[in-house]
Chain A
Amino acid sequence: MSKRRRQSLFLNAAALVALVVSLTLIATGYFVGTRWLADKQSDSQDLLEIVATVVGTHISAAVAFDDQKTATETLASLSGYADITHAVLYAPDHQPFAVYQRAETDGPLAIPDWQPEGIQAGEATLSLYRPVDLGRGPPATLLLVADTRPLQSWVTSTLWLISAMILIAVVVVLVLLYVMARPLFISPLRKILTTTRQISANRDYSIRLTRNRDDELGELVDAINDMLATTEAHAADLNAAVKRAERADQAKSVFLSTMSHELRTPLNGVLGMAELLRRTDLTEQQKKYVEQSRSSGKDLLAILNDILDFSKIEAQRLDLEEIPFDLHDAIEMVTGLFQQQAHSKQILLTPEIDADAPHWVIGDPVRFRQIVANLVSNAIKFTARGEVNVHLQAGVGVGGIQVVVTDTGIGIDKSVLPQIFGAFSQADSSTTRQYGGTGLGLAIAAQLAKIMGGSLSVESELNRGSAFTLNMQLPLATRDDQRHTPQADHRHEDLSATRNASDNASRSILLAEDNLMNQALAQTMLEEMGHRVTAVSNGLDALQELETGQFDLVLMDGEMPIMDGYETTRKIRDREQQQGIPRQIVIAVTANAMSEAQQHCLAVGMDDYLSKPYTINDLQRTIDRWT
């Protein structure tokens, strides 16, 4: 609801009616009033003229016979006319011959000078000069003066009366309007309003308004009901469509999750076994073969991760973190990670950090590193010789950062530059064959930059090299923020520097894993680390082992037959609570890399998680964190 003052239909209509009525009455009052006034003025003028005629006729003989007394007496007969205040009869020589003054008038009369025939309106008087024919010679003149104040006061009182009548009429009309409009319009409209509001609030389009009138409001009700019917049908269609879409989306998620799980599980085996094989005594040629199969497996894992990331971005299901992190560290970390790769291609990979570049910022460090890593990886991939430079500098405004990754590689043709950040678009399809990769790296980097509020741009010249520029605006972290930095971000440990800080203390570990190859792999890795391992193939067995034995740590696969890892963990936690025994550390080992699955692990009470496929280092770091 807007805070604007509510407009009322009734008030508007009432104002309109009041205006129309007032205007009509004022106009009528004005016309009738002016007509009345004119009539009144004309009447009093007529009366004055008649009186003048009568008196003139009567008085002419007196003037003719020079009979002042009779003339004065004749004028005195004017006392019958209340409005005439005084009268003067002028002889033919214009000298006053006889005078009359009404008894009530105050003070002595100042006799006006003679004037020729005519009528004159004064401030409060009306003067009529009328010649009196004497038969021969110049006529005598009769002056009659009437008081117009009674007329004026009549006009004033009439105006007041008209105003009062207009006011009363407006009030009466408004009352009538209210009395009539309420059952006619206001109540039905309120009813419609209440019902439609109820429909909007409850989104229940099955409600129908009841029609009990045959006028326009009835038609309105019909129209609203028709609209509701259409909306109801539409909403039903929409719901069905949404459900279909949700089902499709769910299917997609399940498919992705399943694919992720199904691909990772064997990949875990392949990579793990290759790693274990590498540690055995091998001939140089065998070592080379093993290394190649490991490398291929890692590539496959990278592609799998890319596809998963891209799917998540596309589905807008990527959740960003908001934590303080060190930008300089991030750049160092990424370049450090690719040093070996660059070195093997005899390319110089140099990090360059400006002194004024922001240091600590708040954002998602993993995704930031992922963008830079994708750019660096891309640059190394397409550079045969020369160097790759990663330059962190201050961007525009507070917290503005700019990362420029320049290479001396093959460059990109201008014609394909615009599509370079599109999905699956390497410069041309032969590129994919020549250099490998899914072509998702730059698309993911660009999409990540975009959802982090930044932008990614490129400048390139064929055969001279490319420069990718990442512009971002990240809030600067305060000292306080820096102190609360999480000790480690373990979602993508493959990006972080390897730590070799593990002690070699022997732990007893319960390993729940249904895939026998992965069980064997994990067991071999753990035993190589010097731990004691008890392996089971389902949750129920794990629970039994936990009842009889003491374990420092449980590595729990998520998906297992009979009882899965989640259910098992719930039961472990329940038992701990019932028996008051100390908390058993449970680490999920899941092939499902989707963040929902990881969240689910933590939600059921697991302490940490490790994504398959994992290296022996990953496994060791995770165990070290909890022992």
Chain B
Amino acid sequence: MKKLFGLLLVLFSVACISSVGRATESATEAEATAAFLFNFARYTDWPLAQDKRQNEPLYFCFYRAERAAEVSTTMLTGTLVGDRNVVVRSVRITADLKGCDLVYTRDPSPEWLISPGHGCLTIGRGREFIDSGGIIALVEQGDHLRFIVNRRSAREAGLALSSKLLNLAVEVIDE
């Protein structure tokens, strides 16, 4: 039954890509995105907020990115980052972003990025996202997915990014 559902989902996704174009991502793209998000989380240190206890879930929020949210729910739910459980949320309104540890959006310059909240790793797509104040932007280089890091935004958000991550970034903006 699950397989059948998966197959229907793939068929639906293919139909969407062909009809919506680049507005939404393919299943492969979504999987790669989910993997990258997970790894970004692995190489990021969150500040210990007073209202958050250790071992609390790590909330991955997908703002208007249902496709990625869907794939990530399958791929990442229950995985551990450090000792925190990954919980995937699909978010439609800005108000629901409160409490998110990681936010992914396909929106290149969302308005909420101006004050995304302390301790939130914001990940988007394209250089424009960085310019708008996002922390990590996924970019495509040939067949490969790469990323750009804005260290200043990360610092402002109180996040520490691993040197390994910085090392792998195609560009690190720190001004």
Contact = CB atoms under 8 A, between A and B. Distances in A.
B167 A61 contact: yes
Contact of A58 (B39, B79, B147, B164): B164
A62 interface: yes
B38 A66 contact: no
Classify the interface of chain A: helix, strand, loop or mixed: helix
Nearest to B164: A61
A593 B168 CA distance: 140
A136 B168 contact: no
B38 A61 contact: no
A204 interface: no
Point out which of A62, A65, A66 has the most chain B C-beta atoms below 10 A from its C-beta.
Answer: A65
Point out which of A60, A61, A67, A70 has the most chain B C-beta atoms below 10 A from its C-beta.
Answer: A61
Contacts of A136: 38, 76, 79-80
B168 A67 contact: yes
B38 A135 contact: yes
B162 A61 contact: yes
B167 A64 contact: no
Contacts of B15: none
A64 B145 contact: no
Interface string A46-86: 00000000000010111011110010000000000000000
A66 B79 contact: no
A55 B38 CA distance: 21
A64 B168 CA distance: 10
A66 B138 CA distance: 13
Contacts of A62: 168
Nearest to A70: B168
A136 B38 CA distance: 9
Point out which of B39, B79, B146 has the most chain A C-beta atoms below 10 A from its C-beta.
Answer: B39
A592 to B, nearest CB: 137
Contact of A135 (B79, B146, B164): B79
Contact of B36 (A58, A60, A65): A65
A135 B168 contact: no
A274 B52 CA distance: 170
Interface residues of B, number: 20
B81 interface: yes
Interface in B16-65: 32, 35-36, 38-39, 42-43
A61 B79 CA distance: 17
A64 B76 CA distance: 14
B144 interface: yes
A64 B42 contact: yes
Nearest to B82: A135
B138 to A, nearest CB: 11
A290 B42 CA distance: 162
Interface string A522-557: 000000000000000000000000000000000000
A505 to B, nearest CB: 157
A136 B42 CA distance: 10
Contacts, number: 36
B165 interface: yes
Given A135-B38, A135-B39, A135-B42, A61 B81 contact: no
A363 to B, nearest CB: 124
A61 B164 CA distance: 6
Nearest to B81: A135
B165 A61 contact: yes
Nearest to A71: B168
B142 to A, nearest CB: 12
B42 A66 contact: no
Point out which of A58, A64, A67, A70 has the most chain B C-beta atoms below 10 A from its C-beta.
Answer: A64
Contacts of B162: 61
Contact of A66 (B81, B145, B165): B145
Point out which of B146, B162, B168 has the most chain A C-beta atoms below 10 A from its C-beta.
Answer: B168
Interface in A476-515: none
A591 B57 CA distance: 152
Nearest to B36: A65
A247 to B, nearest CB: 124
Interface string A409-426: 000000000000000000
B81 A70 contact: no
Nearest to A134: B39
Contacts of B165: 61
Contacts of B145: 66
Contacts of A66: 32, 35, 144-145
A618 B168 CA distance: 151
B168 A65 contact: yes
A509 B167 CA distance: 156
Contacts of B80: 135-136
A565 B32 CA distance: 153
A70 B146 CA distance: 12
Nearest to B75: A136
Nearest to A63: B39
B38 A70 contact: no
Interface of B: 32, 35-36, 38-39, 42-43, 76, 79-81, 144-147, 162, 164-165, 167-168
Interface of A: 58, 60-62, 64-67, 70, 135-136
What 6 A-B pairs are tightest by C-beta distance, nearest first?
A: A61-B164, A64-B39, A136-B79, A135-B42, A65-B168, A67-B168
Given A135-B81, A136-B76, 9 more contacts: A61-B162, A61-B165, A64-B35, A64-B39, A66-B32, A66-B144, A66-B145, A67-B146, A70-B168
6 contacts: A60-B164, A64-B42, A65-B147, A66-B32, A66-B144, A70-B167
